Amino acid sequence: MKTIALIAIRLGSSRLPGKGKMPVLGKPVIERMIERIRCSRHIDDILIATTTLESDNELERFSEALDVQCYRGAVDDVLGRMNAAVASTNADLVVEMLGDNPLVHSDLIDDVVDFYHAEQVDYAANVTVEYPHAGSEFAKFPVGIRVQVFTPEVLAKCDRLVTKVENREHSTSFIYENPKTFKLAYFEARDKWSDLHRPELTFAVNYRENFELIKIIFEHCYPEDKNFSLQAALEFYDDHPELASLMGAQE
């Protein structure tokens, strides 16, 4: 079974333009993220899915330099772009992540993929407050480290069914908003992940302050362990309460 990591990213963000190429310890955010993904025992290839805008030419150059695939497609139809990107490969399984989630970790990727196989579902993800049907009974992870697992066939079905603009702007939202159409399973922040039961936090890079937080975490943790754990990142954050001002609000 061939499993690909699919990274949705573009450099034209209205809130923080160019965030994917902003430097962390001398390398772009997206490169730091790819380093961490490559430590996964499940991921065979990595595919960046970006837009045809000139502003994203640099992402294509990054991809070539990092020896990862790059697909360029629609700007606003993110679902269509993701589906076309996956269709351009011979993948059997897709692990989708967002390019502004550089803290996502290989251990979490592997555990969510294992969970997906064990549950035999259409879609699995580590649960966060972003999921409308996941109530307070779920032990939720922080926003910004989400791992989503599904087959190319599930994404293609979603692409065929979706007509609403808002669901085409968020590639998997239709899947998890329709549990009667797709069989879902949520991986919870329990057992070895219990320290990550922190739904009030977000590590997504949406604004300059968020980037500064991620940069500080990398500067502290990376020299000791190039694939530092999410637990180590969270421990450092908790030990430095002054960093809370950089966290920002969830969106």
pLDDT of 177-200, one tens digit each?
A: 999 999 999 999 999 999 999 999
Residue 31 confidence (pLDDT): 97
Q: Answer whether residue 251 shows pLDDT above 90.
A: no
Instruction: Tell me the whole-structure pTM to 2 decimals.
Output: 0.96
Q: What is the pLDDT of residues 66-107, one digit of tens each?
A: 999 999 999 999 999 999 999 999 999 999 999 999 999 999
Mean pLDDT score, 5-26: 93
Tokens of 61: 């150059």
Quick one: which of 229, 237, 231, 230 has its CA closest to 213?
237
| Residues sharing a CB contact under 8 Å with residue 245, sequence separation 6 or more, in sequence order | 209
Residue 227 confidence (pLDDT): 98
Give the span between the Cα atoms of 46 and 66, in whole angstroms: 10
Q: What is the pLDDT of residues 235-247, one digit of tens each?
A: 999 999 999 999 8
Asked if 82 and 6 touch (Cβ cutoff 8 Å), the reply is yes
| Residues sharing a CB contact under 8 Å with residue 150, sequence separation 6 or more, in sequence order | 93, 94, 96, 116, 122, 123, 124, 172, 175
H helices of the chain, where? 29-37, 57-66, 78-87, 106-119, 152-161, 165-169, 173-176, 208-221, 230-239
Strands 69-73 and 184-187: unpaired
Mean pLDDT score, 29-36: 97
Tokens of 162: 């979706």
Residue 14 confidence (pLDDT): 78
> What integer best gives the mean pLDDT of the chain?
96
**Domains of the chain with bracketed CATH:** 3-246 (3.90.550.10)
Tokens of 164: 């609403």
Residue 248 confidence (pLDDT): 65
| Residues sharing a CB contact under 8 Å with residue 71, sequence separation 6 or more, in sequence order | 47, 48, 49, 50, 81, 84, 85, 88
Q: What is the pLDDT of residues 143-172, one digit of tens each?
A: 999 999 999 999 999 999 999 999 999 999
